[in-house]
Structure 1
Amino acid sequence: MKKIISSRELSVVAAERLREMIAAKDMKPGDQFPSEAELVAMFGIARSTVREAIKLLTAENIVEIRRGKGTFITANPGMVKDPLGLNFANQKNLLKSLMETRMMIEPQIAYLAAQRAKPENLQKLRMIIEKMQEANKQNIDYTQYDVEFHTAVAECTQNDVLHRILPIICESIREGYLETVNVEGSFQRAIISHNNIYEAIKKGGAEQAKLETEKHLRQTLEDSKINGGL
């Protein structure tokens, strides 16, 4: 007896084929996805199946639908919000736990970054530092650029896994900002640390980059303690 395949199963299979297509075409964040009509023609499947497959990819944060424009690859494909379930973790100890995790991982990332950084990576790091300084001058929350800096350091490693992991644990930067924003000199210390990390990576000093990152994270911990955050 021939097995009847449900519409749900068909959409799951279609979604997998779409993931394979994204990888095969080496599609990048911001790239426009083929239209429904194009996908129907490419894969020979029903429009309804295509729609369900797109919904699955949207739920996985692989694509996003922009009204009136089409479907596009997301900024961080596959990175769903709060993948570690941090919203359900012990909030009292969350910052400390995140900082401990960063201390174990980020210094080694900086070590590799100094060995593998390309000119375009260095240019991006410099630009982010400048944006962070400008945001502070205008009394704007600079957390976004802080996260971008540490993520960009991970990108210097040319390791696709590491630069996907960093934004997750960098949640502590957002948490830490709330704890240190009123601590006198915290921003200045952060900028000095970022510059030191950048210079070490630029010069290819792996051990120095590792050391500067350790110093930066320890200082962030100290600033958090001053404000009673830990």
Structure 2
Amino acid sequence: MMSLTQKLSENIISYILKEQLMPGDKLPNESILSEKLDAGRSSIREAMKLLESRNIVTIRQGSGTYIAHTPGVVEDPLGFTFIEDKRKLVMDLMEVRFLMEPGIAAMAATHADENDIKKISALCNEVESLIRSNSSHAEKDIEFHTAIAMSSKNSLGTTIFLLLIAI
């Protein structure tokens, strides 16, 4: 039998899916979720802690709760910590990314809807602007590639690709 915390965490996941929230998107605050899910704020807080432990959300004190950049993926799922030659590991990861990226982009080109295209275009413009002004663009670049991957509508391919760009 599921505990209240587990049940609420499943309800929050259903809410995330229903609202089509993307990695990096902010969730409503505790009081709003409490109202929507008909649960107490302390129960919502406990469910969020459970979701954070499963890397589905990221809780930022004073800022809010956000969808994790690689939802549901633990810190080191492939055991990279135990690979000694980090330089070779980075090169191997880049090669795999270069193998996957064209396929993900092709799927996105086929499956993206109007909102996906607008988001990708806006992020592309933001990244270009940051590059032109010699500003740090790494975070926006990851958002851009995440939007492309999500637009592919292939959940497994997206998860694997997001693992590669998050490392």
TM over 0.5: yes
Matched, 1:138 2:133: yes
Query: What residue in structure 2 maps to residue 78 of structure 1?
Result: 72
Query: What residue in structure 1 maps to residue 13 of structure 2?
Result: 23
Are the aligned partners of 2:52 and 2:58 in contact in 1 as well (CA < 8 Å)? yes
Unpaired runs of 5+ residues, structure 1, are 1-9, 173-230
> SS at 1:72's partner residue?
strand
Judging changes above 3 Å, is the alpha-carbon distance between structure 1 residues 114 and 165 closer, same or farther for their aligned structure 2 residues?
same
- Indicate the RMSD between aligned Cα atoms, in angstroms: 3.4
Are the aligned partners of 1:154 and 1:163 in contact in 2 as well (CA < 8 Å)? yes
> SS at 2:87's partner residue?
coil
Unpaired runs of 5+ residues, structure 2, are none
Out of 49, 52, 70, the position equivalent to 1:58 is 52
| Shift in Å, 1:169 | 0.5
Judging changes above 3 Å, is the alpha-carbon distance between structure 1 residues 66 and 129 closer, same or farther for their aligned structure 2 residues?
closer
Query: What residue in structure 2 maps to residue 202 of structure 1?
Result: none
Query: What residue in structure 2 maps to residue 115 of structure 1?
Result: 110
Identity between Structure 1 and Structure 2 (%): 32
> SS at 1:153's partner residue?
helix
In the TM superposition, 1:69-218 aligns within 5 A as 72-76=65-69, 77-89=71-83, 90-171=85-166
| Shift in Å, 1:57 | 2.2
| Shift in Å, 1:54 | 4.0
Q: Which runs of 4+ in 1 moved over 6 A?
A: none
Q: Deviations over 1:60-83 (max 9, x none)?
A: 2334445467x6352444344444
Q: What is the TM-score of this pair, normalised by structure 1?
A: 0.53
Aligned length: 155
Judging changes above 3 Å, is the alpha-carbon distance between structure 1 residues 88 and 171 closer, same or farther for their aligned structure 2 residues?
farther
Q: Which amino acid aligns with 1:127?
A: A
Q: In structure 2, how many angstroms separate the alpha carbons of the residues matched to 1:53 and 1:92? A: 39
Q: Which amino acid aligns with 2:86?
A: Q
In the TM superposition, 1:41-52 aligns within 5 A as 42=38
Are the aligned partners of 1:30 and 1:75 in contact in 2 as well (CA < 8 Å)? no
Q: Answer with 1 or 2: which has the greater Rg.
A: 1
